[in-house]
Amino acid sequence: MKTIVILISGRGSNMRAIVEANLPVHIAAVISNQAEAGGLSYAQSKGIATAVIDHRGYASRGTFDAALMQTIDAFNPDLVVLAGFMRIFTEGFVNHYQGRLLNIHPSLLPAFPGLATHEQALKAGVKIHGCTVHFVTAQVDHGPIVAQAAVPVKADDTPASLAARVLAQEHQIYPQAIRWFAEDRLTLTPDGHVNVKDWETLNES
């Protein structure tokens, strides 16, 4: 059974979805850069170890990343899962976890990287929006795509209503992507793509 560590900065709704999916993984810890993150109390209620590494106590991104890396590595994870962790990592951090650092982004990447994705989508007038699970690279909101889910954009949508429908899809595809990793179904190709073993069978089930 593979071991994962989840990083959060807030309420941790994706972290909750992962915990409640009863995946074939050991969730060793939930770590936050915010002591007041609501998701920490939820994790503790489920008997999951928690830790706080407050970025405000470090002089640079590099020193924070080094401290965070040391804390993560103490749990010896096979996979590090970013679930609303609102920090940009240094290249050294990303390289340390290459091929085992997952993120979920609330858009259909490569469209609308960065923040305010739902506002960006509405401003652009797109008819389809969604979310993406991807392996993290040094380029922010890029990296090999594992899974995506789409939702229609309605004429009367607001950023909040669109975000709510996208979030419901995030809660579906993130646990699924982690399950694929846990079952050794994911392969990174030399050209930077992700192959999912038995994709056709998975889609039929």
Q: What is the mean pLDDT of the segment spanning 109-123?
A: 96
Q: What is the mean pLDDT of the segment spanning 3-26?
A: 97
Q: What's the mean pLDDT when you consider all of the chain?
A: 95
Distance, in Å, from the CA atom of 35 to the CA atom of 8, rounded to the nearest integer, reads 10
What pLDDT is attached to residue 200? 52
Q: Kindly report which listed range (76-80, 129-133, 135-139, 146-150) carries the lowest average pLDDT score.
A: 135-139
Q: Does 55 participate in catalysis according to the annotation?
A: no
- The one catalytic residue in 26, 55, 96, 105 is 105
pLDDT(12) > 50: yes
The structure tokens 């103490």 sit at: 74
Host H or E run for residue 55: none
- Give the domain ranges of the chain: 1-97, 106-130+144-205
Residue 52: what are its φ and ψ, rounded to 5°?
Answer: -125, 125
139-174 pLDDT, tens digit each: 888 899 999 999 999 999 999 999 999 999 999 999
pLDDT(24) > 60: yes
Distance, in Å, from the CA atom of 107 to the CA atom of 128, rounded to the nearest integer, reads 10
pLDDT(202) > 70: no
> Could you check whether 1-97 and 106-130+144-205 share the same CATH topology?
yes
What pLDDT is attached to residue 134? 97
Pick the CATH number of 106-130+144-205 from 3.30.2270.10, 3.40.710.10, 3.20.20.480, 3.40.50.170: 3.40.50.170
- Give the homologous superfamily in CATH for domain 1-97: Formyl transferase, N-terminal domain (3.40.50.170)
What pLDDT is attached to residue 146? 97
Percent of the chain beyond pLDDT 90?
A: 91
67-76 pLDDT, tens digit each: 999 999 999 9
Cβ neighbours of 204 (radius 10 Å): 7
Cβ neighbours of 192 (radius 10 Å): 12
Burial letters 132-149, b for 16+ CB under 10 A, else e: bbbbbbeeebbbbbbbbb
Q: Kindly report which listed range (103-107, 173-177, 194-198) carries the lowest average pLDDT score.
A: 194-198
pLDDT(105) > 80: yes
What pLDDT is attached to residue 199? 64
